[in-house]
Structure 1
Amino acid sequence: MTGPRPVLVVTGLYDPTADVVIGELHARGVPIVRFDSGDFPASLSLEAELTSHGMQGRITTPSRTADLAGVRSLYYRRPTGFTFPHLDEQDARFALTQARYGLGGVLASLPDCCYVNHPHRIGDAEFKPSGLAVAARVGLEVPPTLITTSPDAVRAFIKRHGPVIYKPLSNPVYRIDGVSSVVKIAEVAASDIDDRVTGTAHLFQKLVAKTADVRVTVIGRRVFCVRIDSDLLDWRTNYSRLTYTPIQPPPDIESALHRYMDFFGLVFGAFDFCVDADGRWWFLECNPSGQWHWLEPETGLPMSAALADLLERKT
């Protein structure tokens, strides 16, 4: 391949965070090929052949072509899902699986490519019980947690550890009167628990008496910590009530973060902690595709440049 190697950016049409990173890379003269895997195959074509040197071929968008063997990095953000509205239900299901394992498998097999993050590693790290277990394994403090379908187990857990909160294990979007909504974190009492708990898996966790929250964004080996002050149980419910302060993480926290990242094979992670009155940091979760850019103008932390460095392969 001749010329600079491109960075592939895989995300939906509306992604302001990706836009910022793309702008940073453009300013450095790094070529970009951006596409949404949800556009496949209508406006995104694939040609890949397995050779002794790995996958060879190309991905073509309406405006650009990427040589699969020459991809510098792949920034996997938030692509939309595959859709085949012109097919009946069974044919669409077949076509969707072929697209997922075909295009998805090729994108996961690029030679000499830096993944931020590798889509398979994202999938592994998105399981909240796995993240909690690994956090405890690498030395982070995790609040007592119960995952169950048993109402009696929940009531006993509340009796031992109350106050307790309910947290969704994942948070798909609900549409209520056309407005996007999600299930919120909420404190629960034993009297709130009934047989509806048997309907699916639920996560309950001891409520930490916090003095602040901390969002930690890990980009490669760089760690950016921001203290978030508010009077909210879940600070994500009202950004207008938040104040931000860059801070340094305790040394034992930083080393544990890198062990966590290494376990899952991640190079980017957005971690949430809460801090109690004794200064103890309690791990809540890590989102391998989490948002981060809104913190940069609030704090001046050079996260866009750090992510561009990673994709450019300066670090």
Structure 2
Amino acid sequence: MNSIGSVLVVTSIDDPTADLVTAELHDRGVPVTRFDSGDFPTTLAVTATITGDGLSGTLSTPSRIADLASVRSLYYRRPSGFTFPGLDAQTARFALAEARYGLGGVLASLPACLYVNHPHRIGDAEFKPSGLAAAVDAGFTVPPTLITSNPDAARDFIGRHGPVLYKPLSAPPDSLDGSSRTVNVADVTADEIDDAVNTTAHLFQHRVDKIADVRVTVIGSRVFCVRIDSGLLDWRTDYDRLSYSVVEPPPGIREALHAYLSQFWLAFGAFDFAIDRYGAWWFLECNPSGQWAWLQEETGLPMVAAMADLLEKGR
């Protein structure tokens, strides 16, 4: 099947959010080519030519052929990494780099394509210090934050801005005895700081005295705000304790959301805020690849339709 004007959906096989969006686009008669970049080169093939007329060529899966010159939009979610199990370690490293810069470079260079989001811009926005600095520039209220490898600086910051949380700067995949695990957000006191801090960079942040959280999902021009009540330090640690309500943002928040996304050239963002007892919204982070579809089920907000609208329209 030749899918001219396709929407490309780049994600892993197990992605319920992408499933919903793909089904919605299919129901609308919009051609979709879905694939995992980790399928390359086994069941995914690319042939791209760059001439004076620009980039052209095809991307092929077992059931679709997408014309690279007429892709209307690309929905980049969370694809798996390239793997080359049949090669020795050194050759596999070379093949992985070539795949990343070859296939990855083609996908990042599609003409007249709307990216949701562009993979390079996702990478930029995933740096937490960059995100916090951009949030200040956009006009959000941001908790005092320290990034350091100096134990004395950490103790001094906790003394001046306590209570303070420790937050991981990244979320690398990790496992123990076959089970996945993450580094959780946690309270930290000055007497817990030791010389282990000087082994790498650490992020410490003033803990907002919050009464609730808000997840704000921005899809193009659409803004969906959901208040989350849990009583938890980090609501993501126990979804069974969460209750949801649709809310309107305070004055200035909508403008700041779009200003933030514009700094990174993003069309989508999943923002987290803490609400204090005075009703102020404190910016915590923005995930350029964040989850959102479960909020439609909990609230009835038309978020899948909004994403399909954006991808169908394209640039």
Question: By the TM > 0.5 criterion, same fold?
Answer: yes
Matched residue count: 314
* Alpha-carbon distance, 1:167 to partner: 0.3
- How much identity, in percent, do the aligned residues show? 68
* Alpha-carbon distance, 1:53 to partner: 2.9
User: Partner letter of residue 217 of structure 2?
Assistant: T
* Alpha-carbon distance, 1:55 to partner: 1.0
Aligned to 2:165: 165
- Does structure 1 residue 246 correspond to structure 2 residue 255? no
Residue range with higher mean Cα deviation, 166-175 or 218-227: 166-175
Aligned to 1:285: 285
- Cα distance in 2 between the residues matched to 1:292 and 1:164: 28
User: Partner letter of residue 132 of structure 2?
Assistant: L
Aligned to 1:44: 44
Over 3 Å off, 4+ runs: none
For the 8 Å contact 1:213–1:274, the answer to whether it is kept is yes
For the 8 Å contact 2:228–2:245, the answer to whether it is kept is yes
For the 8 Å contact 2:46–2:59, the answer to whether it is kept is yes
Aligned to 2:62: 62
For the 8 Å contact 2:11–2:34, the answer to whether it is kept is yes
- Cα distance in 2 between the residues matched to 1:299 and 1:207: 28
TM-score, scaled to structure 2 = 0.98
For the 8 Å contact 2:208–2:276, the answer to whether it is kept is yes
User: Superposition pairs for residues 187-202 of structure 1, below 5 Å?
Assistant: 187-202=187-202
User: Partner letter of residue 172 of structure 2?
Assistant: P
User: Partner letter of residue 229 of structure 1?
Assistant: D
User: Superposition pairs for residues 1-315 of structure 1, below 5 Å?
Assistant: 5-313=5-313
User: Partner letter of residue 37 of structure 1?
Assistant: S
Listed one character per residue, the Cα deviations across residues 111-162 of structure 1 (whole Å, up to 9, x for unaligned) are 1111110111111111110000000011101000000001100000000011
Unaligned runs of 5+ in 2: none
SS at match of 2:160: helix
* Alpha-carbon distance, 1:11 to partner: 0.5
For the 8 Å contact 1:73–1:113, the answer to whether it is kept is yes
* Alpha-carbon distance, 1:183 to partner: 0.5
Listed one character per residue, the Cα deviations across residues 254-301 of structure 1 (whole Å, up to 9, x for unaligned) are 101100011100000000000101111100000000000000011010
- Cα distance in 2 between the residues matched to 1:62 and 1:189: 55
* Alpha-carbon distance, 1:85 to partner: 1.6
Listed one character per residue, the Cα deviations across residues 224-258 of structure 1 (whole Å, up to 9, x for unaligned) are 00000011000000000000000011130110110
SS at match of 1:263: helix
- Cα distance in 1 between the residues matched to 2:92 and 2:98: 10
- Cα distance in 1 between the residues matched to 2:191 and 2:284: 25
- The RMSD of aligned alpha carbons is 1.2
SS at match of 1:310: helix
Listed one character per residue, the Cα deviations across residues 38-94 of structure 1 (whole Å, up to 9, x for unaligned) are 111111111000023321110111111111011111100010001112222221111
